[in-house]
Amino acid sequence: MSSAQSFSGKEPNQHKRVSVKSNPGFLERLSDTAGGTVLGVGLFFLSIYVLFTNEGRALQTAYSLDEGLSQVVPLGPYISLEPQNNNRLVHLSAQLHTAQPLYDPNYRVVVQAVKLKRQVEMYQWVEYQESKDYQENGETKTETTYTYNTEWKLELVNSRNFDKEIGHQNPSAMAVESVTVVAPEVQVGPFILSKGLVEQINNFQTLSLKEFSTLVLDHFLTVDDDYFYHTQNPRRPEVGDVRVRFSYAGLSGEESRLGPAQTVSIVAMQRGEQLMPYKTKSGDTLEILYLEELSAEDVFAREHQHNSMKTWGLRAAGWALMFLSIQLTMRIIYTLVDWVPILRELVSVGLKIFALCVSCSLSLLTIASGWLFYRPLVAAALGAIALVPVLLVRSGLPVKKNE
């Protein structure tokens, strides 16, 4: 059984609610623990999958990068369409170029860039919750404090889900929608970039609206701190007011007030006038873009570094999953003794140490198995090297006996 009561706090936009429920019995706690055990078993097998396949992915990516570096054709400073490079992996560094500027007619914003983003925020009510449990009269009570603040939010906050909607109602829709406009055709030298290369141009910078403060805008628009406000009082907004900020990525025009065109370094396959993804023999796809001037060697060195970071990140994630899975699986032991306070604490610490030791050992074993599976020759060579001292010692024993 459970009941609830609410009462107001000292602040006008804050209230508390207390829910009461009887403490669960032993069988109920055991049932909940059994569900955690099933989840733990599932996470355990997931961790093994992540750790094992990560080694194969890392090796495949490394082989693909080495293959790409051995075959890439640097186009040099004077980029031109060479028929002999068709369907080959090429490297080039040059400035971005788009034929037409991007334009937002509602706010009279014009930028010569690859992408123009309109980011819309609405002033809305936001609910925060803070709960704490305590025991009283043999029952578990949960006191939840609800606090309501007004903030600028990118997403629409549904006030119908609030504990107390009265006095904290938000509009049901945004007056203006966020949108990102992308240039239909992006070029580097004589080449047209693929969609995958364009997606990698994300160095967004906020568009300064200083010049707009002197222009004659619509009567409901006000410019302040690089925002268009749909209100006459941007410093004292009300719920439902909207503000808009613009940002751009990949400058692609001639010298302008925003700066020179963005220089990029690309490694991709040349196919006619297009730069396309390149499929390696190892199985990966090479379609690389960096927002700076880099040599082909530097590009592949950066990719090797990213591959190493991703490999270690997935190893850490796999270990964390395994640690959590063992804790969940062994939780049933804690439930069996949780009615004895001293024993409960000792078991809790012991289970954590056990989960830490076992997860570390099994993670290393799984990674080693991945090496054996994906790199058998390397594993055999390491094993042979490890046996060398043993063989040397054994070969020296008869000599000592004869002496």
Instruction: Give whole-number Cα distances, 163 to 16, 122, 129, 274, in Å.
Output: 10, 21, 10, 55
- Quick check: 149 pLDDT over 80? yes
- Quick check: 26 pLDDT over 50? no
Instruction: Give whole-number Cα distances, 133 to 1, 12, 281, 328, in Å.
Output: 17, 24, 59, 22
Better pLDDT: 233 or 242: 242
pLDDT digits (tens, 9 = 90+) for 27-58: 555 555 666 778 888 999 999 999 999 999 99
Label residue 381 by pLDDT band (50, 70, 90): low
Q: Which position has the token pair 């070969």?
A: 395
First to last CA, the chain: 88
- Quick check: 353 pLDDT over 60? yes
Identify which of 281, 282, 207, 209 has the alpha carbon closest to the alpha carbon of residue 246. Answer: 207
Residue 47 has what pLDDT?
94
Label residue 3 by pLDDT band (50, 70, 90): very low
Better pLDDT: 381 or 45: 45
- Are 316 and 308 spatial neighbours (Cβ–Cβ below 8 Å)? no
Identify which of 337, 332, 336, 330 has the alpha carbon closest to the alpha carbon of residue 355. Answer: 330
Identify which of 270, 287, 261, 253 has the alpha carbon closest to the alpha carbon of residue 95. Answer: 261
Helix/strand/coil for 246: strand
* Mean pLDDT rounded to a whole number for the chain: 83
Looking at the chain, the whole-number percentage of residues with pLDDT higher than 70 is 78
pLDDT digits (tens, 9 = 90+) for 59-115: 999 999 999 999 999 997 778 888 899 999 999 999 999 999 999 988 889 999 999
Helix/strand/coil for 153: strand
- Are 168 and 162 spatial neighbours (Cβ–Cβ below 8 Å)? yes
C-alpha neighbours within 13 Å on the C-beta side of residue 27: 0
Instruction: Round to whole Å and give the CA distance between 298 and 8.
Output: 62
**Radius of gyration from C-alpha coordinates of the chain:** 31
Please give the full DSSP string across 100-125, using - where no structure is assigned: S-EEETTTTEEE-EEEEEEEEEEEEE
Angle between helices 26-71 and 341-374 (to 10 degrees): 30
The token duo for 361 is 């050992």
- Quick check: 328 pLDDT over 80? yes
Residue 2 has what pLDDT?
42
Better pLDDT: 329 or 402: 329
Label residue 22 by pLDDT band (50, 70, 90): low
Instruction: Round to whole Å and give the CA distance between 319 and 303.
Output: 24
